[in-house]
């Protein structure tokens, strides 16, 4: 990976809520959720209007589209989606679109297979050492993943739509960079413009951001995390952290933890002397508070699905990294 100083990219405001036209009659690119939309906005600049389907702050796992949303998706020049069961309520609509009208980001990244977080106690020492060897692995872009990741050779949406694959790809700048070239090509095709300069700027920015966060986490002695649900896998794998448990041991917030799983989670907190439990959008708050009260560990809320007050993807990721590092320092 080429390392350059961090650069700032001006980002046009995202238009939340779908609409099929703009006052300037620019083409419309629909993006399913806000964090992905922020990168798409950097790519298209003022060549298109970017409309985010799922309002920022709404759980993409549980969102259901309105008739207006469906109409806007159908009328968009291109729809950019995750592609790994993240936007469960939009899948039926997306499946009706022609292949050249929807771009699935997950079709062009090195996907991460889910692992059972509550089976942490049975992991061997070799797996633990692999998880902390991220610095060596990141020096070559062709071998940047850890043991839990697997490369998909067939870039079809059906291949990625199986269970067991982590959909939270946006929580790694490197994973985001993997699909930029293909997304640029798709956008150029439907917009009829040359986006080479914007694409190069986005890739440079993502590379610089990845290096910045990596250096930040390199200062931590250890990074063991308990999360709201199994969402920080790409982030943890990339920056040498270890996910040892979750309030909801699943990739989707619609799942529920059993009493036995929560009991085992409390044991992990004690055994590993966990400093913080990281919650986020969709975490069952009462359950998290119960675990925190019974273990004496602080709850730290992370913005993992929501742009919030962040103006750019880089701001979003820096806020996430800062909150994790501060809680574990």
In tens, the pLDDT along 256-271 reads: 666 777 788 888 888 8
| Arithmetic mean of pLDDT, 86-101 | 95
Name the band, by pLDDT with cuts 50, 70 and 90, for residue 26.
Answer: very high
pLDDT at res. 146 = 27
Determine the topology of domain 15-112+151-212 in CATH: Rossmann fold (3.40.50)
| Position with higher pLDDT, 219 vs 144 | 219
In the predicted model, is pLDDT for residue 19 greater than 60? Answer: no
Mean pLDDT of the chain: 81
Nearest alpha carbon to residue 279 among 231, 325, 319, 244 = 231
Nearest alpha carbon to residue 235 among 319, 300, 120 = 319
Q: In angstroms, rounded to a whole number, what is the distance separating the alpha carbons of residues 220 and 290? A: 28
pLDDT at res. 163 = 45
pLDDT at res. 247 = 86
In the predicted model, is pLDDT for residue 139 greater than 70? Answer: no
| Arithmetic mean of pLDDT, 54-77 | 95
| Arithmetic mean of pLDDT, 237-255 | 78
Q: Does domain 117-122+130-136+220-328 have CATH number 3.40.50.1980?
A: yes
pLDDT at res. 24 = 64
Name the band, by pLDDT with cuts 50, 70 and 90, for residue 134.
Answer: very low
In the predicted model, is pLDDT for residue 144 greater than 50? Answer: no
Among the ranges given (60-64, 76-80, 117-121, 177-181), the one the predictor scored with the smallest mean pLDDT? 117-121
pLDDT at res. 251 = 52
CATH code 3.40.50.1980 region(s) in the chain: 15-112+151-212, 117-122+130-136+220-328
CA atoms within 13 A on the CB side of 162: 9
* Percent of the chain scoring above 70 in pLDDT: 75
Measure the CA dihedral 187/59/174/153, to 10°.
Answer: -70
């Amino acid at each position: 990976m080429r390392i350059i100083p961090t650069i700032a990219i001006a980002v046009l405001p995202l238009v939340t809520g779908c609409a099929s036209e703009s006052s300037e009659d620019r083409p419309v690119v629909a993006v399913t959720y806000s964090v992905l939309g922020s990168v798409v906005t950097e790519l298209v600049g003022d060549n298109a209007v970017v409309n985010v389907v799922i309002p920022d702050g709404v759980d993409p796992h549980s969102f259901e589209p309105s008739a207006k949303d469906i109409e806007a998706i159908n009328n968009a020049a291109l729809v950019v989606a995750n592609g790994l069961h993240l936007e469960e309520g939009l899948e039926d609509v997306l499946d009706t679109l022609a292949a050249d009208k929807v771009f699935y980001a997950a079709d062009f990244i090195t996907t991460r297979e889910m692992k059972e977080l509550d089976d942490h106690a049975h992991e061997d020492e070799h797996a633990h050492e692999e998880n902390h060897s991220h610095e060596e692995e990141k020096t070559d872009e062709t071998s940047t993943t850890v043991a839990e990741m697997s490369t998909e050779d067939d870039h079809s949406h059906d291949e990625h739509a199986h269970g067991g694959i982590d959909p939270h790809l946006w929580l790694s700048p490197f994973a985001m960079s993997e699909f930029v070239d293909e997304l640029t090509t798709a956008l150029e095709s439907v917009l009829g413009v040359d986006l080479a300069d914007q694409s190069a700027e986005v890739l440079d920015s993502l590379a610089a951001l990845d290096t910045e966060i990596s250096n930040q986490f390199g200062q931590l002695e250890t990074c063991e995390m308990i999360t709201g649900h199994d969402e920080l896998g790409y982030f943890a794998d990339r920056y040498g952290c270890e996910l040892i448990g979750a309030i909801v041991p699943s990739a989707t917030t619609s799942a529920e933890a059993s009493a036995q799983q929560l009991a085992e989670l409390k044991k992990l907190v004690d055994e590993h002397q966990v400093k913080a439990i990281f919650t986020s959008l969709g975490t069952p708050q009462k359950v998290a508070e119960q675990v925190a009260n019974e273990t004496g560990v602080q709850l730290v809320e992370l913005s993992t699905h929501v742009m919030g007050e962040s103006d750019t993807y880089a701001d979003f990721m820096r806020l996430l990294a800062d909150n994790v590092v501060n809680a574990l320092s």
